[in-house]
Structure 1
Amino acid sequence: MNEILPLMKGAAARTTEVVRAVGDDQLGLPTPCSDFDVKALLNHLEWVASLFESVAAGGPFVPPKQDYTGDFPERVERMLAVYERPEAWEGVSEAMGGLPRPVLANMALTDLVAHGWDLSRATGLDYEVDDETAATLVAFCAQMAPMGRERGAFGPEVRVPDDAPALDRFLGIIGRDPAWKP
């Protein structure tokens, strides 16, 4: 198995904790991901889990879904189950423009951590990211930033000090302000 899988499992567990703690009264709150309020971000996370489940299994691109269903924990478990298979790490995904499948796993990790953090900031819930995961994301996103910005996945870089914690540097690379508050 790829060394990213344990990081994905940890991020999925932490993000799932936040998702489960979000109250109905918080669904309309703004998030650091300016395109989404909390409900739309939860819907986006559900779609992300289904998308990466499909492409990791060699399936098609799954278009974004329109309605929030509240089943992120189940979707992310299905996604992780696909990544347990060795073939999920081999070859490229035609559905994702020929990107190598390990790159897709890193993209899934990026989404899980970024949006878990987004939800935690919006709702005031705790969200911890271990140093290994944060450092992995800094390295990956620093390489992917030009393409991420070109495709609209990352915003303009937010400058953070070079000696800032790895999580803050990751957030800055993808266009989040680590000091964001509602």
Structure 2
Amino acid sequence: MSAGRPAGLPCDTRRPEEPVVSDTPADDHRAVAARFTRTVRGADPARWDDPAPCEGWVARDVVRHLVEWFPAFLRSGAGLSLPAGPSVDEDPVAAWVVHSDGVQTLLDDPATADLVVKNPHLGEMSVAQATAMVYTSDVFLHTWDLARATGQDERLDPDRCAGMLAGMLPMDEVLRGSGHYGPRVPVPDDADPQTALLSFIGRRV
């Protein structure tokens, strides 16, 4: 079993800038989480302890990161609790599904989506806005990590990749100094959007 890894290290890809959304924060999360869910469900059970692109992580740690940091964020900032699933070590698929369904339920209900989250780094905003800003994009980026670790389709939406990179480039120094990213990996000027984005956040593709 893997020991896990705390949030806030170079593979913590949360980003404090405007999200690329498909429609509403709820719809955007639904689409991005569905892709991650397919990757989780498609993982060969024998590969959950295979190395992931994040240094020191194995595949299940990618899921662990997501199901641990965001509930803590909601609990401390808005007093909200997400349903508790099994541990990632016991059943990473069920752990993810319970967590992701819980997030979607919060976003689909205006009574919770419109609650205010207070965070020392982000200020005050609605649960829906905060989810779109720092969590949904994290799920999107970690889809590649899990796919790479488990030998699945690694392709990401190129338009979203391009939009995210455009939003992150002006904040390069700030983001790099946060400790959430590894060193930027040089790529050719004509690199495709996915390669450019992943290299920007420190992945070697």
Q: Same fold (TM over 0.5)?
A: yes
**1:164 aligns to what?**
191
**2:102 aligns to what?**
78
**Post-superposition shift, 1:45?**
2.3
**Post-superposition shift, 1:94?**
2.3
In 2, distance between residues paired with 1:145 and 1:11?
24
**1:95-139 deviations in Å (ceiling 9; x for gaps):** 353346436523212211221100111111113322332222212
In 2, distance between residues paired with 1:160 and 1:38?
26
In 1, distance between residues paired with 2:24 and 2:165?
14
**2:44 aligns to what?**
23
> Aligned pair 1:37/2:64, yes or no?
no
**Post-superposition shift, 1:8?**
2.8
Match of 2:98, SS state, is helix
Change (3 A) 1:117 1:175: same
Aligned residue pairs total: 171
In 1, distance between residues paired with 2:55 and 2:63?
14
**1:57-115 deviations in Å (ceiling 9; x for gaps):** 823799xxxx5252112211221332335674786x42353346436523212211221
Match of 1:94, SS state, is strand
Higher Rg: 2
5+ residue gaps, structure 1:
none
> Aligned pair 1:14/2:35, yes or no?
yes
In 1, distance between residues paired with 2:96 and 2:120?
22
In 1, distance between residues paired with 2:54 and 2:24?
24
Q: Which moved more, 1:101-110 or 1:39-48?
A: 101-110
Q: Give the RMSD, CA atoms, in angstroms.
A: 3.1
**Structure 2 residue identity aligned to 1:166:** P
In 2, distance between residues paired with 1:83 and 1:95?
18
**Structure 2 residue identity aligned to 1:39:** R
Change (3 A) 1:76 1:148: farther
**Could you tell me the TM-score, scaled by structure 2's length?**
0.68
5+ residue gaps, structure 2:
1-20
> Aligned pair 1:153/2:180, yes or no?
yes
| Aligned residues of 1:11 and 1:129 also touching (Cα < 8 A) | no
| Aligned residues of 2:162 and 2:194 also touching (Cα < 8 A) | yes
In 1, distance between residues paired with 2:154 and 2:114?
28
In 2, distance between residues paired with 1:154 and 1:9?
25
> Aligned pair 1:59/2:79, yes or no?
yes
- Report the identity percentage: 26
